[in-house]
Structure 1
Amino acid sequence: MDNNRLQDELMLERKARLEFEQKYMSVINHNLDPIITINMNGRITYANIAVHKAFGYRLKELTGRAVIDLIGEEKIDHFNNFLSHAFSGESIEMEGIKFFHKCGKYLSAYIKSIPVTVRGNIQEIHLILRDTSFHHKNNERLLFLSYHDQLTGLWNRRALKEHFEADAEYAFRSDEMLSLIHLDLDRFNTINDAIGRSGADEILKMIAERIKMVIPKAAKLYRSGGDEYMILLKNHSIEKTEKLTQRILSDFTKPFYFDHQEYFISSSIGISVYPDDGSELEELLQKAEQAVRFVKERGRSHYRFYREEMNTAFTDTALMEAHLRRAIEFNELELHYQPQVNLKTGEIDSFEALLRWNNRKFGFVSPTQFIPMAEESGLIHSIGDWVLEVVCAQLKEWQDKQFRPVRIAVNISPKQFRTGAFAEKAKNIIEKHGIHPSSFEVEITETALMNMKDTLSTLQKLKEIGVTISVDDFGTGYSSLSYLKQYPIDIIKIDRSFIKDIELDEKNEAIAKTIINLAHNLGMQVIAEGVEKDLQAKILKEADCHKAQGFLFSKAVPASEIEEKYFA
């Protein structure tokens, strides 16, 4: 009886132990985390199914293998120290361990030790593994994004700050200098308007690649804003910096291609130097930006090193804008008229109206200085309206005096043109003064032609009114030929850059003659701008160019002088 009871108890104990072992192994085998069991010699005795899923090994491939063989060499010492603590009974963790995958690569892993104790003695250790390579890649990606521009992959402003601190410290110790180049694209908003945000983004990436091809390997290139790039040069002399800047500007004369069209983009560049212009990054950035603005106010597409007098210039700029706001009120604006000469007959029946500003404080201010200021500040709308009124009033006056019929061309800012109400405004002013609509010429740049839908509608309305339409600076804008086919244009004006040195430069002569032939074939008139020499006029006349204007014939003069010279 006692023997039977003993057997029953042993059976129950065996059954309970078996159940416990099964539960224990069930926890191991069904755990989603890979678990490897090692003995006190560091040899693998067991591996659950998750190990195969995560690292490619089956149990039979791991059994008896030293776990240390699966660990990346750079962390061997750390891992041995980890095992030492684990075998002493500690449950510890370790991150960033490299665990060898069966396919032959190391994966970043997290590992935790669970000592297995039987009757107070450590029998084995469970190593819980987690593949953290995905998270590691995510962290690397986040780290990359925090220091790089997402669009171009260039370094960003945050990276510039950290790089500058290190480079400035090195430059200080080495008694060297740093150059900070601030590159700002000119009128890039026109590209946005023409091809949309996604297209403009593609152009920005092309620009980044083009700059990278030019700068030295040691230079660091950053994208600071929408259309701004920075270059940090270490131990670069003024002469070397200047040569690099000139090369960048030269590269920008080449077109950028998008969607089978070519686009020309210029840039203005300002440069500040450490430590001459400042020891702090923000101070250098501010001074480089001042140099950029100085360049933009003086015609763009050039470069300048920062100079102290630029501070005064910007104070004057703010003051000048305040004066410009009162220019109409104080009768400081005046229109001068430049004759356009018929090259065959020598007769003059058209003029271009050019704005002049004589300010009580600054004196005569160049249009290249105050027109961009008017554009940026929005004053161009009120000034543009004033110009329309004065031109139409002048045409009415000459009409009433029964002078021979003439036409006056008025430059229209793209901003004026894009308001959508320009045609209606022009119609009202023409009707108000009672002039012949054809005597009023709207002169627009190729930039204004880029927004196809709105521009076509406005031009069609102007043609319905009877206004003459011309394209200024032809050949310097974007995709010129496609616009000529689409729009109701009467006159093409060849840009002065193609007329300059036409008597010496065969390419300029070929371009000018091509534009003239194109205009003839399309039934348009053609006017050459910037004619200053007799030989230039002769070449244009032989090429059958209709008209020319420039200092050879006359500068722009007041209306009173026009009456004396051309209507007497």
Structure 2
Amino acid sequence: MNERKWLAGMWRNWEAAQKIAWRFVLLYIVISISWLLISDWLLQDHLQNAKWISTVKGGLFIVLSALLYYKLIQRMIKDTIENEANYRLIVENVSDLIVVADRDGYIKYASPSHERLLGHRSEEYEGKELFDFIQTEDTFKMQDWFQNEIMLKKEIEVEYYLKSKEGNQVLVEGKVVPVASGNGKVEKMVLLAHDITKRKQFEKQLIESEERYRKLVEYSPETIFIHIDGKIVYVNNAGLRLAGVQYIEEVVGKNILDFVSSEDLNYVENQIRKVEETGKTKLHDYQINRMDGTRLFVEALAFQTTYQENKAVQVIIRDITERKRAEEKVRYLAYYDSLTGLPNRNLLFDYLNELLIAIKKEKQTLAVMFLDLDRFKMINDTLGHSYGDFLLQQVASRLKACLPKGSMLARYGGDEYIIVLQEKKLEAISRLSDQIIDKLAEPFFLSDRQMFISPSIGISIYPKNGDVAEELIKNADAAMYLAKEKGKNTYQFYTSSLNSMDSCKLELENGLRNAIKNEEFTLYYQPQVDLNTNKIIGLEALIRWKHPKYGFVSPAEFIPIAEETGLIVAIGKWVLETACNQHKQWEEKGFSPMRIAVNVSALQFRHKDFAKTIEQIISNTKCRASYLELEITESVMQHLGETTTIMNELKELGVNLSIDDFGTGYSSLNYLRHFPINTLKIDKSFVDEINNGKNGEIIVKVIIDLGNRLGFQVIAEGIENKQQAIFLKQNNCHIGQGDFFSQPLPAEKMERLFSE
């Protein structure tokens, strides 16, 4: 076996072959001489007598040497054939390209793999110049290599483009091996190459992908950083801005917990452990500290990754400080009065209901004091809302100064305040009432004006005058009206004798039962105006009642009675039918059709088959559903499931839905996500605060921005002056309504306004 390897190797190297050949010649000479000398010595006695022996000896030598050479040549030829077959099998089936060319570049042999890769058969290459199949751009480079490197017997690694039969470019890499002849000169070369087109395409795609990802991360508006065991190793530009630094060195190398607020440290540490355990975290928020000490709210998402072949965690952070502030403002708006900072009626009812549950178990008592400012309307109308607002703020401050610990002061609305007092002695409650009256009797200084105000206070006691919040407040309200009737600037406890005061209310209730039949109701219409063009684009229908005895009765007086008695359902239906009929009449007269809004009470909205009633009214009046808008108050939002069902039924009819007095009732961002509403109406109480106080303007801006971002139409009602209209327009509220444009008008006057 070793001999076969030796013989096979002999033919692979010309210099080695020459040496072996000389060894054979020398061996042959030595054997021949040895044969002659030994044979002559052994046969010397016989050679002189028998010459034929010399002849036989020579012939025998020739035969033995011939047999020896035959055996050696046979074995060498056999090994050569076997090796050539093996090499040919490899060359003809290998996927790599193999080319043998002479020193001038003319191809002597091309492996069959060329046909599979480039489409040319091996025969098509033979005799042709190698450079004919190389892309022009690489030809000069290859020629230079051949002339300078290969002729110096150097193997070189090459990368170049070959031309396929179809004209495509195929990128290959490999090496060129020079083959020298016996005289040491390079006579031919062997090119070994393999296709790297797909690999290069993949590498290019990978580079492009990495570049896109790098730019996406680097220029992302969201903060992206990577940490290893808490140590920051990378941060993008947005992260530098978020941290309040200019240079990456100010962040990289620090621990991520260095930037987390102390209140959220434990929470963030738990999130880090969660990433290690599960590989990622859900979206979560916490507070961070910038380098300048500023605190920000952020929203973060973390997941495992690798960074420079190390296990790491990538974190994506979004600054949600402004969103948090807006949410806080809306939450504040839901439970606190923006003007005075006092709890509003929502928080009042929540607090009072919880307190009643607690003291009921302990059998304690409490007092509800309903306070209304005398002559406040005159001051507000005479001096303006700015003076009125300032007065309300000063009153709130003085009231808080009078109250003992454990009591609550709330602004109920307008110039009304409610005090919840945990006190069982009537003498103590009376002393506090006198103290409040005395405190408010002191002059108020508003700019350069001195003004005086007095309160009327009504008081109800739990459980004697009621055992639920609504009843206690209602009875305290009744006692407050009695205090006003007794000359104001005083207080009154609720007594059963106050029931006689309900006689007027009972008379109004009886009158309501016949008002529709006696045609005592009428509708007035107030325009809704495009603030950009001042054109009328819609109307709100407002009910008016002309009582045969009392004349025009304010809706604020009879609507609560109608709701309490259930008459609101019939009255509401009459309003809807009348408004739709009027809209159809105007359309038939040639007036441009526009959306008409009708108020719907919570009781009417939740009444059985309300959606079917609307469908029937639309059908009977021939009023198109798209021109009808139903305004509902936030009080219906307490019944999420029922309200959603009814709203969806109305939307299927094509009716538009509006939230009236947004922000004054059960304000919740939750229902804005669930209900299919079209419009938000900013309540007049907020519009009144425009140009009168910074907080009022901020709240209006928040509501407008919230409505626009959620895709709702925003309407401001109660606009009374040009400054309010300009402010609303500048802050992207596009529709307004109020006396500044037009007071509510009957149908015939509305038609004249259309014609102007």
User: Which one of 302, 305, 310 corresponds to residue 492 of structure 2?
Assistant: 305
The corresponding residue for 2:228 is: none
**Partners of 1:378 and 1:366 in 2: how far apart?**
18
1:213 maps to 406
8 A Cα contact 2:715 2:736, kept in partner: yes
- 2:637 alignment counterpart: 449
Change (3 A) 1:242 1:501: farther
Q: Tell me if 1:469 matches 2:675.
A: no
Residue matched to 2:525: 337
- Residue in 2 aligned with 1:321? 509
Equivalent residues in 2 for 1:475-554, closer than 5 Å: 475-554=663-742
- Counterpart of 2:95 in structure 1 is none
Deviation at 1:478, TM superposition (A): 2.2
Take 2:571 and 2:607, find their aligned partners in 1: how far apart are those partners?
Answer: 14
Q: Kindly indicate whether residue 573 of structure 2 is the aligned counterpart of residue 385 of structure 1.
A: yes
Q: Do the aligned residues in 2 keep the contact of 1:183 with 1:230 (CA within 8 Å)?
A: no
- Structure 2 distance, partners of 1:518, 1:246, is 44
Identity %: 40
Structure 1 CA distance for aligned equivalents of residues 459 and 498 of structure 2: 12
Q: Confirm whether residue 152 of structure 1 aligns to residue 358 of structure 2.
A: yes
Change (3 A) 1:406 1:282: closer
State the alpha-carbon separation in 1 of the partners of residues 527 and 501 from structure 2. 34
Tell me how far apart the structure 2 counterparts of residues 370 and 402 of structure 1 sit (CA, whole Å): 35
Which of 371, 389, 410 pairs up with 2:559?
371
SS at match of 1:531: coil
Paired residue for 1:205?
none
**Partners of 1:282 and 1:504 in 2: how far apart?**
39
Equivalent pair of 1:181/1:288 in contact (CA under 8 Å): no
What letter is aligned with 1:510? Answer: I
Task: Give the letter for the 2:717 counterpart.
Answer: E
- Of residues 206, 221, 232, the one that matches 2:424 is 232
Higher relative contact order (CA 8 A, sep 6+): 1
CA distance in 2 between counterparts of 1:510 and 1:552 reads: 22
CA contact (8 A) 1:494 1:528 kept: yes
CA 1:488–1:269: 2 relative to 1, 3 Å: farther
Q: What is the distance in 1 between the residues matched to 2:438 and 2:701?
A: 31
Cα offset for 1:523? 1.5
Indicate conservation of the 8 Å contact 1:338/1:549, yes or no: yes
| SS state at 2:514 partner | coil
Q: Does 1:406 align with 2:594?
A: yes
Is contact 1:270–1:305 with CA below 8 Å preserved after alignment? yes
Letter in 2 for 1:403: F
What is aligned with 1:355? Answer: 543
Normalised to the residue count of structure 2, the TM-score between the two structures is 0.40
Alignment of 1:123-202 (within 5 A): 151-154=357-360, 181-182=367-368
1:54-93 counterparts in 2 under 5 A?
A: none
**How big is the shift at 1:296?**
9.6
RMSD: 3.8
In structure 2, do the counterparts of structure 1 residues 335 and 151 end up closer, same or farther at CA, with 3 Å as the change threshold?
A: same
Per-residue CA distance 1:399-436 (angstroms, 9 max, x = gap): 11121011111110111111241111101100111111
1:181–1:269 CA contact under 8 A, matched in 2: no
Count the aligned residue pairs: 331
Q: CA 1:378–1:295 in 2, change beyond 3 Å: closer, same or farther?
A: farther
CA contact (8 A) 1:528 1:549 kept: yes
* Partners of 2:500 and 2:665 in 1: CA distance: 34
Per the alignment, residue 292 of structure 1 pairs with 477
Per-residue CA deviations over 1:452-480 (Å, capped at 9, x if unaligned) read 11111111111111111111011122243
Task: Answer yes or no: is the 8 Å Cα contact 1:503–1:509 preserved in 2.
Answer: yes
Are the structure 2 counterparts of residues 359 and 521 from structure 1 closer, same or farther at C-alpha, using a change threshold of 3 Å?
same
The C-alpha deviation readout for 1:288-319, integer Å capped at 9, x for no partner, is 9755346699xxxxx96359996663211111
| Partner SS, residue 213 of structure 1 | coil
Gaps of 5+ in 2: 1-354, 371-402, 410-419, 440-455, 483-489
1: distance between equivalents of 2:660 and 2:710? Answer: 17
TM-superposed deviation, 1:396: 1.1
**Whole-Å Cα distance in 1 between the matches of residues 657 and 367 of structure 2?**
41
For 1:535 and 1:422, locate their aligned partners in 2 and report how far apart those are by CA, in whole Å: 40
Residue 372 of structure 1: SS of its match in structure 2?
A: helix
How do 1:260-271 and structure 2 match up within 5 A? Answer: 270-271=458-459
**Partner residue in 2 for 1:241:** 433
2:529 counterpart letter in structure 1: V
Contact 2:631 2:657 in 1 (8 A): yes
Per-residue CA deviations over 1:496-522 (Å, capped at 9, x if unaligned) read: 111112112111111111111122112
Q: Distance in 2 between matches of 1:543 and 1:364?
A: 37
Q: Distance in 1 between matches of 2:479 and 2:540?
A: 29
Tell me, what secondary structure is at the counterpart of 2:738? Answer: coil
Q: Gaps (5+ residues) in structure 1?
A: 1-148, 161-179, 185-209, 217-227, 248-267, 274-280, 298-302
- 2:551 and 2:580 map into 1 onto residues whose CA distance is 27
Distance 1:536 1:460, change over 3 A: same
Q: What is the TM-score normalised by the length of structure 1?
A: 0.52
In 1, Cα distance between the equivalents of 2:710 and 2:428?
53
**Structure 1 pair 551/403, CA: closer, same or farther in 2 (3 Å)?**
same
- Larger of the two Rg values belongs to structure: 2
**SS in structure 2 of the partner of residue 235 of structure 1:** helix
Task: Please show how residues 88-99 of structure 1 align to structure 2 within 5 Å.
Answer: none
**CA distance in structure 2 between the partners assigned to 1:353 and 1:153 by the alignment:** 46
Aligned AA for 2:658?
S
Please state how far the C-alpha of 1:345 moved relative to its aligned partner: 0.6
- Residue 22 of structure 1 is matched in structure 2 by none
- For residues 152 and 454 of structure 1, do their structure 2 counterparts lie closer, same or farther at Cα, with a shift above 3 Å needed? same
